Amino acid sequence: MDVLRPSLININGRIYRKNITREQTYQNEEEDFDYSASPDCLDEPCDTVEVEQTEKGYRCAIDVPSVLYKYIIGKKGDTRKRLETETRTSINIPKQGVEGQIVITGQQRASVISACTRIEVLMESFRMKQPFTHFLSFALNQPEIQERYLQFKEEVLKNCSQDSGVDGSIFQNPAKLHLTIGTLSLLNEKEVTKACKLLQQCKEDFIKDITGSKPLPLEIVGIEYMNDDPAMVDVLYAKVHPKDGSDKLQLIADQLVKHFVSSGLMTKEWDRVKLHATVMNTVFRKDPSAEDKRDSGRQGLKDRESFDARNLMKIFGKYHFGNLDLNAVQVSQRFSTDSSGYYTSSGLITFS
């Protein structure tokens, strides 16, 4: 870690430095952190923690998904004990697997706020290590697109199967064709509900204004690869073009990421959303349900066997996958699929 440029964590508009003082390998992956507020957030008016005064002092309750309890407890309770000692508070954590609130009590209001802040920083740090459970996307699984995609697959295997690494195992499931906007780690039903409500709010705040409450006509034509060597490709994707030449789709995607990042439900990984529809991916060789790193944000690139796309690009570089009127964006579950074969929707909004 560069000590002059430490990692920053945004929690409810407050910026904290994550200073790793020492690393320990625990069974529960707990690490020791030094929690330091940035100079801009040292004053009390920056505090957004709700602390209530009681007969015995002060009390604060914060929502924490049960899967993160172990990181706050630590090995043999060491992390909780250290937090309680350093902040002079008492921290009550529900039983493992029981969704609820962590309750902090103490004699001094500042002590309770300090404990809450440390727990929030710890929680956000380890949230980043959780596998993503949902993703925000535009579905592209319309019948015409699926049919043209299957023709593409058939023709590629007919003309390029002799090329290194090209075989049927690396093609996307046609029912799952989509444009990923961003990935989400939603760790309980409350967070799923929050994400769905935020998506609905985004429709009212800016999506209706951008689209004029009308579908966006798109053309899917041409293919491109992610890396810089066509002889060793891991991901091949179809390019999406608004038929009216506007940047409306890009604006919607970028604004969605901005709002979901601000809410704490998504981590910003790119300056701009890369709108693409994955058609071939080498991670599918071992796991047909996997996503590429750009789609997943956490999927590793280990044990990949790249393929030679030079011949494929020459023959199919301008392949036309079809046209569609895009009219919806949705929060989808990563592994669950509906009757159509597409990812199960937890929440969906239409443009019209």
- pLDDT digits over 304-328, tens only? 889 999 999 999 999 999 999 999 9
Query: Cα dihedral sign for 85, 90, 91, 92?
Result: positive
CATH topology classification for 7-127: Ribosomal Protein S8; Chain: A, domain 1 (3.30.1370)
Same fold, 7-127 and 134-350: no
Q: What is the pLDDT of residue 309?
A: 97
2 contacts: CB under 8 Å, gap ≥ 6: none
The strand ranges marked E within 243-287 are 277-281
* 147-170 tens-digit pLDDT: 999 999 999 999 999 999 999 999
Residue 63, strand partner residues: 101
What are the φ and ψ backbone dihedral angles of 183, each rounded to 5 degrees? -110, 155
Query: Are 345 and 144 in contact, with CB atoms under 8 Å apart?
Result: no
**Would you state the structure tokens that stand for residue 162, as one six-digit string?**
């002799």
Query: Are 48 and 13 in contact, with CB atoms under 8 Å apart?
Result: yes
Angle at the Cα of 144 from the Cα atoms of 172 and 345, rounded to 5 degrees: 60
* 43-88 tens-digit pLDDT: 343 456 789 999 989 999 999 999 999 999 999 999 999 999 999 9
Q: How confident is the model at residue 127 (pLDDT cuts 50, 70, 90)?
A: confident
* Domain-wise residue ranges, the chain: 7-127, 134-350
Q: What is the CATH class of 134-350? A: alpha beta
Q: Which amino acid is at 275?
A: L
Sheet holding 235-242, edge to edge: 277-281, 235-242, 216-225, 320-326
Distance of CA 330 to the CA centre of its chain: 13
Q: What is the pLDDT of residue 287?
A: 73
User: Is the pLDDT score of 18 beyond 80?
Assistant: no
